[in-house]
């Protein structure tokens, strides 16, 4: 989308996988837990400020991403949140939680004990899988 700019903190903390109709799809750089984000390409800070059609589209994208995460990662719990205290840009976290993950049962935000990074082939594989399963468009030079 023309004019859309990802918040610098989100850009620094994630891999950009591609985009859906409304949102950019990101993968958190730390591989300690499977952690995806959706960032709607709109200029609002809260879900309640979306137009009704945008809100419906975002809810559909959240649902589809959650179904993908459940099928792909088989989590014990699926955490979905729109916490924006440090990044004012509207974004939705979808985190696959497992009882064996490094933060269980606490929150993952700011608590990952060791930072494990994805290599480029892992990121490419996830992007390809999301493109096939959700119809996500992979952006050149992501």
**pLDDT 10s digits, 13-37:** 999 999 999 999 999 998 889 999 9
Closest by CA position to 114, among listed 33, 35, 36, 34 = 33
Tell me how far apart the alpha carbons of residues 24 and 64 are, in angstroms, rounded to a whole number.
14
Provide CATH code, domain 8-126. Answer: 3.30.428.10
Question: Which pTM was predicted?
Answer: 0.93
pLDDT above 70 covers a percentage of the chain that reads 94
Which of 43-47, 111-115, 135-139 bottoms out in mean pLDDT, i.e. has the lowest? 111-115
Q: Where are the domains of the chain?
A: 8-126
* Token code pair at residue 89: 């840009």
In angstroms, the CA 82 to CA 93 distance is 6
Q: Does residue 142 surpass a pLDDT of 70? A: no
Tokens encoding 134: 């959700």
49 CB-near residues (< 8 Å, 6+ apart): none
- Rounded Cα distance between 73 and 114, Å, is 20
């Amino acid at each position: 989308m023309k004019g859309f700019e990802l918040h610098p903190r989100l850009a620094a903390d994630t891999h950009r996988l591609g985009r859906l109709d409304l949102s950019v799809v990101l993968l958190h750089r730390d591989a300690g837990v499977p952690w995806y984000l959706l960032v709607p390409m709109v200029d609002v800070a809260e879900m309640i400020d979306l137009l009704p059609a945008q809100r419906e589209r975002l809810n559909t994208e959240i649902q589809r991403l959650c179904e993908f995460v459940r099928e792909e990662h088989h989590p014990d719990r699926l955490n979905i949140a729109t916490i924006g205290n440090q990044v004012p840009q509207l974004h939705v976290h979808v985190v696959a939680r497992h009882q064996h993950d490094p933060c269980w049962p606490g929150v993952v935000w700011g608590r990952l004990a060791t930072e494990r990074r994805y290599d480029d082939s892992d990121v490419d594989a996830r992007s390809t899988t999301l493109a096939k399963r959700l119809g996500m468009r992979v952006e050149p030079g992501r």
